[in-house]
């Protein structure tokens, strides 16, 4: 009997629980609510922007000369300025090659000219008197001309014993010294002019959109063509130093290796020999800021919402997404600037969407539809 009672009590409990579950009414079913993603947007407004194009380059002399001996001989004189870093004046003698042989050649040439002149004068008188033929007079004239040419050559060779340059400059390298015998063509040193320095600035195709560089036709038509102004900066002795310069020309070709165009900046008196200011030595690496002309009808867009390199997410009038590429003409640390691929008044998404798809519906934050949907969801959840 006790066994039947012990087994009957759990069974009765199970039956009672099942009966209570069967008596419970089912809860009302709620309609499933599909929620579109809420996004923030901004409307595109055209603006006028002033761009600064950034580039860099190395300062190099506009005029540089490799000095070579034009005559042979022993170096008998060297200026104390003919050392690396030495500054010399225009037409200052930097070096002298032994002139003795060339002075002798000049004296001989002068004497021969006098002799040939006397012979020509005599032939002319005899020809006038009818004692000489025309051929003999022509031969005397040719001999005189040859003697004069030799005298000019001797004079020039004597002048070439003086090593000097037609500009004010600095010696970059000294490659010959006092007492050394040099032949024609022997390298003596390297010098450069200090009147102007140049910097080649690489510019991309996007940089050139807003730059008006002097072209080959303009430079051929006038020597006074001047391009945009440039501010050059470099670090000297731990301090930032700047210089003002101008773009004077472009090289007119696209570099095949990196697809850039080089603009050439010119700065006057870089060593400040004749004006006040900080010097700009050759070989200095400088950063360049080019002031570009004003650009109109461009859109400034936060840099962080650009997908990939040039894509934006647009929202059409039906609140559906449209992902498309735009043309970015410039950018800085915070913004990109677009001139094509978008029109004024269009809306672009600023909210991050992991996988946007064209035609995907969204709700705009702050719109009435978005607020009612949120309230609907909240009411639905409270009923559970």
Say if residues 290 and 51 touch (Cβ distance below 8 Å). Answer: no
Beta-ladder partners of 203: 261
d(CA 322, CA 233): 44
- Show the tokens assigned to 169: 């400059």
d(CA 362, CA 134): 108
Neighbours of 49 (CB within 10 A): 19
pLDDT at site 6: 59
Q: Is the pLDDT of residue 85 over 90?
A: yes
d(CA 307, CA 346): 17
What is the set of domains in the chain, with CATH numbers? 38-44+306-382 (2.40.420.20), 53-62+195-294 (2.40.30.170), 67-95+165-193 (2.40.50), 99-160 (1.10.287)
d(CA 166, CA 109): 28
For residues 125-139, give the mean pLDDT: 75
For residues 107-118, give the mean pLDDT: 93
d(CA 140, CA 68): 38
Give the model's confidence band at 75: pLDDT under 50 very low, under 70 low, under 90 confident, else very high: very high
Closest CA relative to residue 200, chosen from 55, 75, 317, 70 = 55
The pLDDT mean for the chain works out to 84
d(CA 73, CA 87): 26
pLDDT at site 220: 54
Over residues 308-357, the pLDDT tens digits come to 888 999 999 889 999 999 988 888 788 888 988 899 999 999 988 888 88
Choose between 317 and 19: higher pLDDT: 317
Over residues 273-310, the pLDDT tens digits come to 999 989 999 999 999 998 877 778 889 999 889 998 88
Q: Is the pLDDT of residue 9 over 70?
A: no
- Show the tokens assigned to 280: 């700009």
d(CA 44, CA 384): 43
Distances (CA, A) of 52 to 248, 292, 330: 18, 6, 9
Q: Is the pLDDT of residue 2 over 90?
A: no
pLDDT at site 302: 92
Over residues 200-259, the pLDDT tens digits come to 999 988 788 777 776 656 655 556 667 788 999 999 988 999 999 988 888 888 888 888
Say if residues 161 and 97 touch (Cβ distance below 8 Å). Answer: yes
pLDDT at site 73: 95
Give the model's confidence band at 91: pLDDT under 50 very low, under 70 low, under 90 confident, else very high: very high
Which positions ≥6 away from 261 have C-beta within 8 Å? Answer: 202, 203, 205, 208, 213, 250, 251, 253, 254, 255
DSSP 8-state class, residue 276: S
Q: Is the pLDDT of residue 371 over 90?
A: no
């Amino acid at each position: 009997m006790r066994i039947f009672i012990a087994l009957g009590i759990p069974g009765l409990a199970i039956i009672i629980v099942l009966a209570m579950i069967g008596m419970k009414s089912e809860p009302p079913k709620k309609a499933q609510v599909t929620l579109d993603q809420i996004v923030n947007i901004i409307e595109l407004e055209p603006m006028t922007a002033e761009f600064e194009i950034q580039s860099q380059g190395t300062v190099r002399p506009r005029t540089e000369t490799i000095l070579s001996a034009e005559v042979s001989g022993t170096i008998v004189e060297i200026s104390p300025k003919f050392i690396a870093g030495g500054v010399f004046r225009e037409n200052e003698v930097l070096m002298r090659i032994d002139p003795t042989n060339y002075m002798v050649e000049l004296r001989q040439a002068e004497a021969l000219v006098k002799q040939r002149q006397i012979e020509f004068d005599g032939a002319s008188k005899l020809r006038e008197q009818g004692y000489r033929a025309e051929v003999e007079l022509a031969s005397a004239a040719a001999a005189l001309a040859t003697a004069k040419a030799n005298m000019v050559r001797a004079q020039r060779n004597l002048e070439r014993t003086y090593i000097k340059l037609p500009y004010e400059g600095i010696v970059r390298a000294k490659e010959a010294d006092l007492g050394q015998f040099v032949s024609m063509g022997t390298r003596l040193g390297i010098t450069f002019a200090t009147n102007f320095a140049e910097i080649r600035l690489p510019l991309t195709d996007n940089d050139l959109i807003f730059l008006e560089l002097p072209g080959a036709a303009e430079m051929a038509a006038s020597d006074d063509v001047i391009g945009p102004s440039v501010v050059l900066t470099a670090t000297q002795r731990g301090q930032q130093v700047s210089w003002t310069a101008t773009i004077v020309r472009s090289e007119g070709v696209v570099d095949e290796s990196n697809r850039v165009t080089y603009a050439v900046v010119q700065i006057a008196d870089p060593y400040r020999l004749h004006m006040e200011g900080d010097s700009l030595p050759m070989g200095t690496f400088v950063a360049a800021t080019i002031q570009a002309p004003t650009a109109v009808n461009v859109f400034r867009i936060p840099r962080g919402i650009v997908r990939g390199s040039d894509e934006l997410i647009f929202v059409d009038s039906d609140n559906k997404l449209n992902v498309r590429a735009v043309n970015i003409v410039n950018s800085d640390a915070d913004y990109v600037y677009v001139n094509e691929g978008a029109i004024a008044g269009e809306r672009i998404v600023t909210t991050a969407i992991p996988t946007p798809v064209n035609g995907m519906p969204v709700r705009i934050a702050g719109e009435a539809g978005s607020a009612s949907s949120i309230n609907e969801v909240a009411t639905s959840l409270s009923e559970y």
